[in-house]
């Protein structure tokens, strides 16, 4: 059975809850989900897989978290061609600019963004956002 990695960073648990819902969706579509923090895997190791999910909240001023996620993405940029990538993350007060930038970046690296766009949740994901995360996990299995 295929194993699909869900790699995320979360400061206060909101994106972590989304990661768990993405994993649930992956499992409901018949694959195995492996949920990991960005500090637990290298970009080179992740890039051995053809599809995976990445989660990060809006941080800084509409950017990815700068300690772990941005350095990871800098390495991953060169390894993303041909991959299928599901994106998700929580935000607070913005308009989702960090996710638009992330989608554009992943696309210009040559990867396909699963479902065409990332799933965003405002602060703690509500039931609707969790359902969107599960659907994203399913779509990733079938991508």
Ligand X SMILES: Cc1cc2nc3c(=O)[nH]c(=O)nc-3n(C[C@H](O)[C@H](O)[C@H](O)COP(=O)(O)O)c2cc1C
Residues that bind ligand X (CB under 6 A): 10-15, 57-62, 90-94, 123
Decide whether 71 or 143 has the Cβ nearer to ligand X.
Answer: 71
Min dist CB 13 to ligand X, Å, is: 5
Backbone phi, psi, residue 125, to 5°: -65, 130
Decide whether 11 or 110 has the Cβ nearer to ligand X.
Answer: 11
Provide the pairing of β-strand 32-37 with 3-8: parallel
Decide whether 91 or 102 has the Cβ nearer to ligand X.
Answer: 91
Per-residue 3-state assignment (H helix, E strand, C coil) for 24-65: HHHHHCCCEEEEEEHHHCCHHHHCCCCEEEEECCCECCCECC
Min dist CB 18 to ligand X, Å, is: 8
Decide whether 65 or 134 has the Cβ nearer to ligand X.
Answer: 65
**72 secondary structure, DSSP code:** H
Min dist CB 113 to ligand X, Å, is: 20
Q: What is the dihedral sign for C-alpha 98, 54, 105, 78?
A: positive
The CA distances from residue 118 to 2, 13, 44, in Å, are: 22, 18, 23
Min dist CB 27 to ligand X, Å, is: 21
């Amino acid at each position: 059975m295929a194993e699909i990695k869900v790699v995320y960073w979360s400061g206060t648990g909101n994106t972590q809850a989304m990661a768990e819902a993405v994993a649930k969706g992956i499992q409901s579509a018949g694959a195995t989900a492996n949920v990991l923090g960005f500090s637990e895997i290298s970009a080179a190791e992740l890039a051995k897989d053809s599809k995976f999910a990445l989660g990060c909240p809006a941080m800084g001023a509409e950017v990815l978290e700068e300690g772990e996620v941005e350095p990871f993405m800098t390495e991953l940029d060169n390894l993303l061609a041909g991959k299928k990538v599901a994106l998700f993350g929580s935000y607070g007060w913005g308009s989702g600019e960090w996710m638009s930038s992330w989608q554009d970046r992943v696309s210009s690296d040559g990867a396909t963004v699963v479902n065409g766009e990332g799933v965003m949740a405002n602060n703690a994901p509500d039931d609707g956002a969790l359902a969107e995360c599960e659907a994203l996990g399913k779509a990733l299995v079938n991508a």
